[in-house]
Amino acid sequence: MRRFYLIGFLILLCFDTFTQVGFKIGAIHTAPPGFDWAWVQRLLIEKWIYFAILGYLGVFVTYLTLLRHAPVGPVHAASHLEVVTTSVASVLLLGEKLTYIQILGGALIVAGVLVLAIGSPTKREGISSA
């Protein structure tokens, strides 16, 4: 069962990271964001946005499958660990740079997420923010 969670969780992170990288590439292709009809038209014909939406469907299915077997607290909190994989992917794949102070900020965010994951709500309390 541990293995099931671990693999499911890794698949979730992969889908999540792919989705965000896809949105980023789509956003680069459709810049600048004019909030006008021309911008919306560019968004509608951008293929990476559709790839990202497909990735999002993968996230959704994986998340619900995990929720079926695991309590909501840890799953929801742990799903926020996408910030780590997405940041790493941005640096490796997109050539972005983070300063040391930003990495420290990221570490504090992850620490916060882990504190939430450990102190998870009971099943009875249900989904509070998922």
Partner 1 sequence: MTAQATLIWLLKIVADTVGQLSFKAAANISEENWFSHWRAMLSDKWMWAGIGSYVVEFFLWLALLSLVPLSLAVLLASFNILTITLGGRLVFKEKLTPRRCIAITLIAFGVALVGWA
Number of residues near partner 1 (by CB under 8 A)? 49
Residues numbered 47-106 forming contacts with partner 1, rule: CB under 8 A: 49, 80, 82-83, 86-87, 89-91, 94, 96-99, 101-102, 104-106
| Contact by Cβ (8 Å): 16, 59 | yes
Distance CA 84, CA 117 (A): 15
From residue 101 to residue 130, the character string flagging contacts with partner 1 as x (rule: CB under 8 A) and all else as - is xx-xxxxxxxxxx-xx-xx-----x-xxxx
The single-letter DSSP state of residue 124 is: T
| Contact by Cβ (8 Å): 13, 85 | yes
Distance CA 32, CA 34 (A): 6
Judged by the rule CB under 8 A, the positions of this chain that interact with partner 1 are 20-21, 23-24, 26-28, 30-33, 35, 40, 43, 49, 80, 82-83, 86-87, 89-91, 94, 96-99, 101-102, 104-113, 115-116, 118-119, 125, 127-130
